[in-house]
Amino acid sequence: MKNNFLKFLIENSSDIAYEINLETKEINWHKDLNALLEYDKSKNLSDINSFIQIIKKSHRNIFLEKLTINDTEKRSIKYKIKKNNKEFQEWIDTFIKDGNKIFGVCKINYKKLSLELKRSKKRYQKLFEANKIPVLVTSLKTGKIIKANKAANKFYGYTSKEFKKLHITDINTLPYEDLQKDIQKALTDEKECFNFKHKIKTGKIIDVEVYTGPISLKKENLIYSIVFDITKRKQALKKLKLSDTIYENTKEGIFITDLETRFLSVNKAFEDITGYKEEEVLHKKVKILKSNKHSKAFYNNLWSSIKSKGSWEGEITNRNKKGELFHQWVTINTVYDENNKPINYISVFTDFTKLKEQEQLLREKDKIMFQQSKMASMGEMLKNIAHQWRQPLSVITSSASGLKLKKEFGILSDEDFSEFAEGILKSTNYLSQTIDDFSNYFKNSSDKEIFLVNDVIEKAIQLTDSSLKSYDISIQTQFNDNCEIYGIKNELIQVLLNIINNAKDAYKDKTKNQQIVQIESKKELLNACIIIKDYAGGINENIIDKIFEPYFTTKHQSQGTGIGLYMSKQIIEDRLNGSISVENIQKEEEKGVAFKILVPISKKS
């Protein structure tokens, strides 16, 4: 704003400011000297030698002497310059030397100025009216506004006639006593720039910055005011202050770097999280936080994203001042200038070290609960093994007894021996296969693979078939689609076993002619869908929403731990990226429950 004011004064002053560079022999005039002296543009008056040629010969030494002075005191000299090769003007040159430069102001002092004054007055009038910045002229004696340019008419909403009826206090909201004090400061050069609140014609109050000073016109003492609307600047400052408050008080660490990743600024949260004070990291590279936990490829991908997209977001492990590791979620953005060229990087990060530790504890807890769930399932499996082994063991026992008896009585034929041996071999093979089936289920395999849903359902049925038959429970299947899914097969088997065993337990306390567990598989949109139903009375509506909670159980403490369905939900949602839900159902007069499992179909299938 001050530069605009100085420019306004220089352009409207009759004096000619200049700057001489003694090394380059150039003169920088702050006015169009060619136009002022009525020379065409071909005459290079910015060159010292060319300028000397238009100085009166007898005065050239005076000008040359000023180029060789050594002291830095203010000097004044007089010399004459030829105007348009016809007449000489007397210049009063006031200057000062500063190193290899001379700064000065030339004042024209010749008698025939009337024409030039008229031209200057016209130019001033044009400048006053054409200036896009509002300018007001006020009487010091009356406080009346006596002149306003077109920009002021537009800004305040008043016509020139309306302005002449206004007192300065009709516009300036400051009390007149305070306003007089500020005017006095302007008159004594104590202050030239003021911030006021001005009222425009509509009544709206606008923040303005006013550059003001005294002038004299027709022997009347006046004061001019050059007015700048700073409403947007005030709003910007308010936003900047708000941003600064957020910057300093937010819990997220923030830091700004140059393009070489040297720290330029950090906020308080950065200091609290990393342990480094701002003065310790300024102008140092961000790599002082590096933990060496990430590969070169990781950082290559990070910078590739910043260069191509202007930003990157992700998890980084860094090291604080004490050397301790801390986990951050970081967002890095590029800051661009008005030409869309990158100038800075700004990074915002959240320290979630404690969250990671809690997450690890939860993983450990889930691992323990998963193992507890398996151990609980093991009891059921041992019962199933017992049921499945009864018949083959009975065959082996009877075959061995038959062999012994016939041998003792001497009636064992080769055909009898082959028959008994065949029966024993078939039974032992069956027992061996059963052991393999149950062993495979209890393997702690963490290998994910693509497998068919129906194969898993059949394996779960095979593991529970003998146990269910002992309670007169039959399983009905309806396989509509055989979808492929990706995951750990044994984990889905465990989920199915949990649900089937719950159905078996529900039927234990019921007396029904027909006890059925129905299992259906089908494709539902992009998911493999498994629905398991029983008709053992359903679940109380007051607790149905809680059955997937950890340690919640509807059974007696001696019968269950309550982790079966909780772990089933964890497996389906966290390990298979699916969902599991339950609802009560009705079939004629029988109430029951239906579990629905949805697992995304493998993209590889």
pLDDT computed for residue 8 by the predictor = 54
Give the lowest-confidence range in 81-90, 349-358, 396-405, 497-506. 349-358
Give the lowest-confidence range in 62-76, 141-155, 472-486, 506-520. 506-520
% pLDDT > 90, the chain = 28
Give the lowest-confidence range in 273-287, 345-359, 490-504. 345-359
Phi-psi region of 283 (alpha: psi -120 to 50; beta: other; left: phi over 0): left
The whole-number average pLDDT for the span 297-303 is 92
Question: Residue 254's beta-bridge partner residues?
Answer: 348
Place 560 in a pLDDT band, splitting at 50, 70 and 90: very low
Q: Is the pLDDT of residue 35 over 60?
A: yes
In the numeric block, which tokens belong to residue 522?
């089908």
Place 597 in a pLDDT band, splitting at 50, 70 and 90: very high
pLDDT computed for residue 557 by the predictor = 39
Q: Is the pLDDT of residue 285 over 50?
A: yes
Q: Which CATH fold would you assign to the domain 250-351?
A: Beta-Lactamase (3.30.450)
- 1 vs 345, more confident: 345
Q: Is the pLDDT of residue 110 over 60?
A: no
Residue 29 host element (H or E): strand 26-29
What count of residues does the chain have?
Answer: 605
Give the lowest-confidence range in 48-57, 322-331, 433-442. 433-442
In the numeric block, which tokens belong to residue 310?
């202007």
pLDDT, tens digit, 9 for 90 and up, residues 451-484 = 999 999 998 888 777 677 777 888 999 999 899 9
% pLDDT > 70, the chain = 79
Place 372 in a pLDDT band, splitting at 50, 70 and 90: low
The Cα angle at residue 133 between residues 128 and 139, in degrees rounded to 5: 60
In CATH, 2-115 is 3.30.450.20: yes
Give the lowest-confidence range in 43-47, 140-144, 428-432, 545-549. 428-432
Q: Is the pLDDT of residue 572 over 80?
A: yes
The whole-number average pLDDT for the span 107-116 is 57
pLDDT computed for residue 376 by the predictor = 58
Residue 41 host element (H or E): none
Give the lowest-confidence range in 51-65, 97-111, 441-455. 441-455
pLDDT computed for residue 197 by the predictor = 93
Question: What number does CATH give the domain 131-233?
Answer: 3.30.450.20
- What residue type is assigned to position 218 of the chain? K
Q: Is the pLDDT of residue 365 over 80?
A: no
Q: Alpha-carbon distance 115 to 87, whole Å?
A: 14
Sign of CA dihedral 323, 325, 327, 333: positive
Q: Alpha-carbon distance 331 to 591, whole Å?
A: 54
Rounded to two decimals, what is the model's pTM? 0.37
Residue 262 DSSP label: B
Q: Is the pLDDT of residue 449 over 70?
A: yes
Q: Is the pLDDT of residue 315 over 60?
A: yes
pLDDT, tens digit, 9 for 90 and up, residues 375-417 = 655 555 566 566 556 656 765 776 677 777 777 777 878 787 7
In CATH, 361-600 is 3.30.565.10: yes
Residues with Cβ within 8 Å of residue 98, at least 6 apart in sequence: 72
Most confident range, picked from 216-230, 237-251, 273-287, 546-560: 273-287
Output the 3-class SS for 501-525: HHHHHHHHCCCCCCEEEEEEEEEEC
Nearest Cα residue to 526 out of 487, 493, 484 = 484
pLDDT computed for residue 237 by the predictor = 76
pLDDT computed for residue 113 by the predictor = 43
- 438 vs 37, more confident: 37
pLDDT, tens digit, 9 for 90 and up, residues 154-212 = 999 999 999 999 999 999 999 988 988 888 888 887 888 899 999 999 999 999 999 88
Asked if the domains at 131-233 and 361-600 fall in one CATH topology, the answer is: no
Task: Name the average pLDDT for the chain.
Answer: 81
Nearest Cα residue to 64 out of 55, 173, 72 = 55
Domain edges within the chain: 2-115, 131-233, 250-351, 361-600
Q: Is the pLDDT of residue 34 over 60?
A: yes
Q: Alpha-carbon distance 552 to 529, whole Å?
A: 26
pLDDT, tens digit, 9 for 90 and up, residues 534-544 = 998 888 888 88
State the residue for tokens 């689609």: 481
